[in-house]
């Protein structure tokens, strides 16, 4: 690519915004030229705005330190200086919906890390290796919003990416019933142990709204585009429990699954290891070369050891075995702030750029 696209990060001072800043440092296609946040941060340099609140282990990239933070609510001003934006704001659902649509109506593509538009019928919710075809619904969305270039695309809930890819690779065998329990890192709540000392030596068996998302969002991802809308799939039937555990990063899932046509264990492992998606076909910069890695060891995957596989963009699976109530059970793992949040959003943007949906203004 001869010229980098200019990128804005709206909500750039929070944990996901910080992770986006980190991931886009040195990106071959994208260059951060604008950061926006609340009015209380506006007018400060980015370094000043996150003073004492930088949550990542790696240092802040030098080239963003002196970017002057803009007011996210001044949509026209922010949009004027960028080709597209990532949005990771902390606001009420209806406020996020309105803000993202306002940006899209300026002709600016919006790649959202927020949940507000995940069920808007003409907004694609994408895991690029799984449902890249859903991006064609953008054409209908643009007509609704009255723009030829702007749109909104969203990434799904971070926890489902620890098990949905593994199930997706086996759809030909028609999974019927799925039980999944997720053990979710505290960064999924935008916190670290300094922010949340109550999580030390503790497990909280409740994450608000998470179980409904974990049960329903996979069905939308496995759905189809019909008459300019995403129609969710009828099955499989999924039930979940979502638990917060004292881990910095990484969501682990224990999964039980039954199939209409039961495959062999060897078939399952082969399909996991061979699975490739559109990002791998296109050679996108952030795409893992091996999307799903299967571990033979009985004690893998482990959160601390395996969350960073393929730069945090791969999914790990292990402990596949037959079950007494279901056909099989296994363990899955994904990095929640990389594959599940900021990294997943960057990969979506790369897919949309490669498919012609994001261009220089």
Along the chain (361 residues), what's the average pLDDT of each consecutive run of 10 residues?
86 95 97 96 96 92 97 98 97 97 98 97 98 98 98 97 98 98 96 95 97 98 98 98 98 98 98 98 98 98 98 98 98 97 98 98 95
Is 134 catalytic? The answer is: no
Q: Which of 147, 97, 143 is closest to 120 using CA atoms? A: 97
Tokens standing for residue 242: 């979502």
Q: Are the C-beta atoms of residues 85 and 361 closer than 8 Å to each other? A: no
Is 158 catalytic? The answer is: yes
Q: What pLDDT sits at residue 1?
A: 43
Q: What pLDDT sits at residue 2?
A: 53
Q: What pLDDT sits at residue 160?
A: 97
Rounded Cα gap, residues 269 and 320, in angstroms: 8
Q: Are the C-beta atoms of residues 337 and 247 closer than 8 Å to each other? A: no
| pTM of the entire predicted model | 0.97
Choice among 117, 134, 251, 335 that is catalytic: 251
Choice among 134, 158, 168, 242 that is catalytic: 158
């Amino acid at each position: 690519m001869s010229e980098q696209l200019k990128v804005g990060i709206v909500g750039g001072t929070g944990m996901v915004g910080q992770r986006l800043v980190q991931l886009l440092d040195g990106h071959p296609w994208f260059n951060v030229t604008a950061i926006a946040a609340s009015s209380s941060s506006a007018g400060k340099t980015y370094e000043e705005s996150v003073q004492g609140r930088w949550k990542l282990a790696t240092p802040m990239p030098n080239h963003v330190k002196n970017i002057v933070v803009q007011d996210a609510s001044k949509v026209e001003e922010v949009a004027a200086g960028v080709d597209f934006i990532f949005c990771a704001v902390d606001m009420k659902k209806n406020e996020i919906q309105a803000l993202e649509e306002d940006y899209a109506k300026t002709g600016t593509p919006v790649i959202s890390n927020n949940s507000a538009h995940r069920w808007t019928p003409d907004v694609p919710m994408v895991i690029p290796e799984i449902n890249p075809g859903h991006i064609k619904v953008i054409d209908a969305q643009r007509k609704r919003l009255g723009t030829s270039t702007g749109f909104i695309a969203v990434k799904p809930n971070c926890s489902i990416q620890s098990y949905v890819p593994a199930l997706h690779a086996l759809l030909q065998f028609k999974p019927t019933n799925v039980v999944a329990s997720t053990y979710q890192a505290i960064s999924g709540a935008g916190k670290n142990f300094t922010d949340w000392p109550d999580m030390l030596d503790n497990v909280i068996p409740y994450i608000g709204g998470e179980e409904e998302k974990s049960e329903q969002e996979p069905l939308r991802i496995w759905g189809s585009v019909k008459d300019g809308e995403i129609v969710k799939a009828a099955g499989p039937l999924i039930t979940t429990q979502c638990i917060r555990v004292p881990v910095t990063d990484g969501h682990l899932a224990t999964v039980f699954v039954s199939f209409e046509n039961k495959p062999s264990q060897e078939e399952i492992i082969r399909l996991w290891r061979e699975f490739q998606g559109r990002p791998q076909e296109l050679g996108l910069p952030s795409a893992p070369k091996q999307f799903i890695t299967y571990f033979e060891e009985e004690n893998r995957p482990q959160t601390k050891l395996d969350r960073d596989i393929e730069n945090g963009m791969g999914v790990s699976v292990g402990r596949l075995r037959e079950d007494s109530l279901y056909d099989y059970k296994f363990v899955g793992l994904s990095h929640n702030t990389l594959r599940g949040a900021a990294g997943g959003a960057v990969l979506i943007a790369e897919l949309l750029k490669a498919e012609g949906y994001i261009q220089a203004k």
